[in-house]
Amino acid sequence: MATIAFIGLGHMGGPMAINLVKAGHNVHAFDLVDELVKGVVAEGAQAASSAADAVSDADFVISMLPAGKHVEALYVTGDAPLFDRVKPGALIIDSSTIDAATAQRVAKVGAERGINFIDAPVSGGVGGAKEGTLAFMVGASDAQFAQAKPVLECMGKNIFHAGDHGAGQIAKACNNLLLGVLMTGTCEALNLGVKNGLDPAVLSEIMKQSSGNNWALQVYNPFPGVMEGVPSSNGYQGGFMVDLMYKDLGLAMELSQQSASPVPMGSGARALFSLHKAKGNGALDFSSVLKLYQDQ
């Protein structure tokens, strides 16, 4: 079993690190927040006193941080960059959702120094992180992907090789752009039907069995009371926050600018989430964007 440094033990990183412990790995855990380290140590990980301490003996380094600036600072530009500390031959797997340009830049700096850095963002949310059923979208060489896969399988169910460095982040941005469009479109259609006298459950079933069928209707209905066990039936608590959807749609906008590829649907969805966030709903689940339509 491998020695794995895990850095960033938040909503996602904490349960992911615990699944590595459960799989028998020797996990050295670090977060800026002591309480989060303690939570993972209680499940069998070892506490590291710093990120540098965590990686000193690690075969794999996994990071799960908020954004690109945190990732670049941790490995390259910060006070004690981990590229100066990692063991020769170690594989660094960044699972944070960040911009592809930063992922590619950090990988390039690493490659110039003989350090393996790959991007492997995830889909599946906190539930998937806890259950070990995440989807990983990996940007790496074939050899790096083969090395990473057995470790990622301890935390996820579907491990995809999207392409070379940065491709995992591009795939994640494309997926979440589509998710934002699907969710806002589903809310729009449901609200239109209900405002015109239809029952949301009946309309949902009709669209699910018709050509409007999509993931939101199947497993994540945004209309309260239509589906059990989803955030819409729990005051939009838990799930995937509006703030994170807004962030991910921003990453898609950046990609669109860099590649001059039009994203009018994604841009429209982002405007809706932006308005919804500005009304103080950033911490609610993203399916709460229905309220924006209902409040009109």
Chain residues binding ligand NAD by CB under 6 A are 7-13, 30-33, 36, 51, 64-66, 70, 74, 96-97, 122, 125-126, 240, 244
Q: For residue 137, what are the β-bridge partners? A: 160
Which C-beta is closer to ligand NAD: that of 33 or that of 146? 33
The least CB distance from residue 188 to ligand NAD, in Å, is 23
Which C-beta is closer to ligand NAD: that of 82 or that of 181? 82
Burial of residue 169, with CB atoms counted within 10 A of its CB: 0-12 exposed, 13-18 middle, 19 or more buried: buried
From 22, 157, 172, 195, active-site residue:
172
For residues 55 and 62, the answer to whether their CB atoms sit within 8 Å is: no
Contacts of 86 (CB under 8 A, 6+ apart): 55, 58, 61, 92, 115
The least CB distance from residue 47 to ligand NAD, in Å, is 13
Which C-beta is closer to ligand NAD: that of 124 or that of 224? 124
DSSP state of 280: I
Closest CA to 178 of 90, 79, 252: 252
The least CB distance from residue 254 to ligand NAD, in Å, is 14
The least CB distance from residue 59 to ligand NAD, in Å, is 19
Clarify whether 172 is annotated catalytic: yes
Which C-beta is closer to ligand NAD: that of 64 or that of 263? 64
Distances (CA, A) of 224 to 194, 199, 233: 12, 12, 5
Residue nearest to ligand NAD (CB): 10
Residues forming the active site = 172
